[in-house]
Structure 1
Amino acid sequence: MGKPTGFMEFQHLSEAYEATDQRLKHYREFIITLSDAHASVEGARCMDCGIPFCNNGCPVNNIIPDWNDLVYRGNWKQALDVLHSTNNFPDFTGRICPAPCEAACTLNINNDPVGIKSIEHAIIDKGWEMGWIVPQPAQAKTGKRVAIVGSGPAGLAAAQQLARVGHDVTVFEKNDRIGGLLTYGIPDFKLEKLHIERRIEQMEAEGVSFRTGAMIASKELPAGIVSDASEFISAEQLTSDFDAVILAAGAEVPRELPIPGRDLNGIYPALEFLIPQNREVSGGKANPISAKDKHVVVIGGGDTGSDCVGTSYRHGAASVTQFELMPQPPEQENKALTWPYWPLKLRTSSSHLEGNTQRKFAIATKEFLGEEGVLKSLKTVELDWKDGKMNEIPGSEKTVQADLVFLAMGFLSPVGGLLDAFGVDKDARGNAKATTDGEGCYATNAAKVFAAGDTRRGQSLVVWAIREGRQCAREVDSYLMGDSTLPR
């Protein structure tokens, strides 16, 4: 906790944003971290609430009241140690996590919650600034070799944990840079790649090896998947060369919209727009898809859709419209009913505020319309939702102008034939079948093959991926050594 009476004395202090007209000129982060003084005040608002529901609201079970109190008292180094005890990469979560911990904050019942995410952001930035974050190599090697397929947050978390207890870890990534969708999916204005790069340097100093451009199991990729793999490695080779294999390749196959006109030029899965843009920002070739002066429609109301909105505005789009199949949620949740759980409510991202975004709810796209093979508009219909079922409203059909459409309706399963190549059983959604509790959790049916993150649970949050990577690392360590000292 912070100051016992702090929640009554101090108003919530939010992080500031760079002015919209300025941040639209670049792709750098634009959120201004809390000053030490402001972070201390926000930490002081943490209540002596008896049961810290924020801990359970956080997927990695961050020990939030402790580091709130330490920041309030100015003990930044100790706060960093507490933060790192449960989370390998607060540099990522402090920027892009939606903060379910704040929804669970006791103060959120009738007030603004403690700005937990902003304090986390301040702690990790202070840690790098002061040089407190250094490699932690193992004191002794075990001689065991672990292969990790995928270098997103789950794969990186597992790799760091396993390397720190002495295993030789190699991470395989199909793209030319490490980080998975942290690097190529999330725009730099939300997460600059410096934060990933210095973690990679730390992990290399801890003994982790990285192999980029390495595609495991399959040379064929589904439509909408971007990769520059130059090396193809069979599942048999991987299981032969390593003592354990962790599949943490994410769930990157996009959900499609198979309606008339889908083959028109101008319709793209979201990552076909976002990945080339991140490559351009990092010094690569120009994004072949330009939204400049175009009327953009983003189909899908989640984070990926929001990223398409913000990127389109930076291109100079003439207009941006976002469609959501579900009805518009309330602007304010009924806290008496939803707390401490993640509430259903209208969420407006910083990208939505960067232009005159038209957000349309309870709307379905029926057909793409074009001329000479080029998209010109789309036909929509309004929906009426009753008892969880949607029904089209007769006479509500409209035509909406569109030069570009980005499909951001979520992701389905791991790419290629990854799971099939290893002989891994799948769940009903096509993800790796593995439990997270009991004996042998995170282990698949295939000998010495484990699965974690979106590959196992399906599309989810970065913080869930980190949790699963850490927990899977403990299970792999126990499998290899008979027991484990890693935290679960």
Structure 2
Amino acid sequence: MGKVTGFMEFERLEEGYKPVTERLKHYKEFVVGLDDAQANKQAARCMDCGTPFCNNGCPVNNIIPDFNDLVYTNNWKAAIDTLHSTNNFPEFTGRICPAPCEAACTLNVNDDAVGIKSIEHAIIDRAWSEGWVKPQPAKVKTGKKVAVVGSGPAGMAAAQQLARAGHDVTLFEKNDRIGGLLRYGIPDFKMEKSHIDRRAEQMVAEGVTIRTSVLVGEMPKGSKVTNWAKETISADQLKKDFDAVLLTGGSEQSRDLPVPGRDLDGIHFAMEFLPQQNKVNAGDKLKGQLRADGKHVIVIGGGDTGSDCVGTSNRHGAVSVTQFEVMPQPPEEENRPMTWPYWPLKLRTSSSHEEGCERVFSISTKEFIGEKGKVTGLKTVQVEFKDGKLVDVPGTEKVLKADLVLLAMGFVNPVATILDVFGVDKDARGNAKASTEFIGGYATNVPKVFAAGDMRRGQSLVVWAIREGRQAARSVDEFLMGFSDLPR
């Protein structure tokens, strides 16, 4: 464990941020991570509980007390080996995971949780700087060929695991660069894309073939999903050319708001807005980029994607940014005895909110209004729960000015055609139907076709995607070889 009395001696130390006035001028990361001494003290707070709830709070089951102790004893090389044993990409999770492990930390019962995420961040950054992250190519090749369709965190994790098991893996991506929503959904100021690029280099060195701008199947007509594919390949061709196919395309169909005026110009899905800025940051030239300069922006949706729209709009130079949430404002502090060790409902204020944003709760949009075909405002009403349903509050109707409206209300299901062209059964929510049983897990109804990540479980966290990618890789390996040494 860390220091026996560390949790009594040391306070939780949060990672810092660069000043708002400075960070709004660019799209670079602005988090100031813990230095070695600070990480050492934070790790000293870990109690190595008899039942470490943090392990189960973490979807990839990181061995948290162990790497905390290794950081406390300055054994950083062993710490990254321990972290990598359960998590292929801790630089992703150390930056953008909401840290359910910390909610489950035993200290969080009546004190501040151990800063597990900040320690993870420190470990992987130290590992890259020391040159400890190296390719791990398979010593023996199996001769089996696997296609992984979709290069988000689930696809990347699965491809890497399968390549290390000795299979010839081809990773297909419809967009021009790999990473999925990590690449084109997460703003660069939260995670710079160099982290994806160097992992891609590692995967190629391990034997993964990466094919970008290749669409498997076809996009639905009128789809708003980002797609820069230059080549198309059929599902039948993949099944013919490969011994197994793993679908990890994510949940990309945005939830819409079908109220009067929805067809006005100036109303866009978040995933029309965010990817464009990331492409510009990468050096691409776009015509007619969606921008918030000089505009009154309203973001509908109170989650992380909405927060990302807020931060990007402020960097564009929006006149005002307002974020709507239909649900009531959560309490500022959770009821720990009632919620621990589970993820609590409480008010969460992101760094983007702190940069400038009005947050409005219990509000519903009834109509978009406009002039000459362009949105100029929204008709809204306050809502409240009655008899388990949200109902309008009489007399609370308002009209709010808006030049740009961004819909960030989550994602409902995968792009339907990818499942249709393979003939994969869907569950009630339109996701790929595949169980997670130990034997035959992640297998669909179609022979040798598997599914994992958001495409299977629905919209979720990056850490859940990595878990599903790793577990699906083991199932594919078992299917091909009759057994697997890959970890679940």
- Asked if Structure 1 and Structure 2 have the same fold, meaning a TM-score greater than 0.5 normalized by the shorter chain, the answer is yes
Paired AA for residue 295 in structure 2: K
Distance 1:243 1:165 in 2: 15
Give the deviation of 1:353 after TM superposition: 0.2
Corresponding position: 1:306 with 2:302: no
Paired AA for residue 470 in structure 2: R
Give the deviation of 1:359 after TM superposition: 0.6
Paired AA for residue 197 in structure 2: E
Cα deviation code 1:296-346 (max 9, x no counterpart): 000000110000000000001111000011111100000000000000000
Paired AA for residue 89 in structure 2: F
2:135 alignment counterpart: 135
How do residues 68-467 of structure 1 correspond to structure 2 at under 5 angstroms? 68-220=68-220, 222-286=222-286, 288-355=289-356, 357-467=357-467
Give the deviation of 1:387 after TM superposition: 4.2
- Give the SS at the match of 2:277: helix
- Give the SS at the match of 2:443: coil
Paired AA for residue 279 in structure 1: K
Paired AA for residue 464 in structure 2: W
Give the deviation of 1:220 after TM superposition: 3.4
Paired AA for residue 249 in structure 2: A
Question: Structure 2: any 5+ residue segments left out of the alignment?
Answer: none
Paired AA for residue 359 in structure 1: R
TM-score (norm 1): 0.99
- Give the SS at the match of 2:47: coil
Paired AA for residue 107 in structure 2: L
**Alpha-carbon contact 1:217-1:234 (below 8 Å) kept:** yes
Give the deviation of 1:409 after TM superposition: 0.3
Which shows bigger deviation, 238-247 or 218-227? 218-227
Cα deviation code 1:128-157 (max 9, x no counterpart): 000000000000100000000000000000
Aligned residues with identical type, % of pairs: 69
Give the deviation of 1:224 after TM superposition: 2.0
Cα deviation code 1:24-64 (max 9, x no counterpart): 00000000110000000000000132110000000000000
Give the deviation of 1:219 after TM superposition: 4.2
**Alpha-carbon contact 2:219-2:415 (below 8 Å) kept:** no
**Alpha-carbon contact 2:439-2:475 (below 8 Å) kept:** no
Cα deviation code 1:106-126 (max 9, x no counterpart): 000111100000000000000
Distance 1:83 1:10 in 2: 24
Paired AA for residue 465 in structure 2: A
Distance 2:318 2:416 in 1: 33
Cα deviation code 1:263-320 (max 9, x no counterpart): 1111000011000000000101246111011100000001100000000000011110
Distance 2:214 2:196 in 1: 19
Give the deviation of 1:465 after TM superposition: 0.2
**Alpha-carbon contact 2:174-2:229 (below 8 Å) kept:** yes
**Alpha-carbon contact 2:322-2:358 (below 8 Å) kept:** yes
- Give the SS at the match of 1:82: helix
Paired AA for residue 84 in structure 1: H
Paired AA for residue 332 in structure 1: E
Give the deviation of 1:176 after TM superposition: 0.5
**Alpha-carbon contact 1:4-1:48 (below 8 Å) kept:** no
Paired AA for residue 391 in structure 2: N
- Give the SS at the match of 1:34: coil
TM-score (norm 2): 0.99
Distance 2:94 2:431 in 1: 28
Paired AA for residue 378 in structure 2: L
2:2 alignment counterpart: 2
- Give the SS at the match of 2:445: coil
Distance 1:226 1:48 in 2: 45
Paired AA for residue 36 in structure 1: D
Paired AA for residue 66 in structure 1: D
Distance 1:389 1:463 in 2: 32
Paired AA for residue 421 in structure 1: V
Paired AA for residue 331 in structure 2: P
Which shows bigger deviation, 164-173 or 284-293? 284-293
Paired AA for residue 116 in structure 1: I
**Alpha-carbon contact 1:222-1:415 (below 8 Å) kept:** no
- Give the SS at the match of 2:413: coil
1:64 alignment counterpart: 64
- Give the SS at the match of 2:71: helix
- Give the SS at the match of 1:232: strand
Give the deviation of 1:442 after TM superposition: 0.3
- Give the SS at the match of 1:412: strand
**Alpha-carbon contact 1:3-1:45 (below 8 Å) kept:** yes
2:13 alignment counterpart: 13
Give the deviation of 1:103 after TM superposition: 0.2
Distance 2:219 2:346 in 1: 42
Paired AA for residue 179 in structure 2: G
Distance 1:388 1:408 in 2: 24
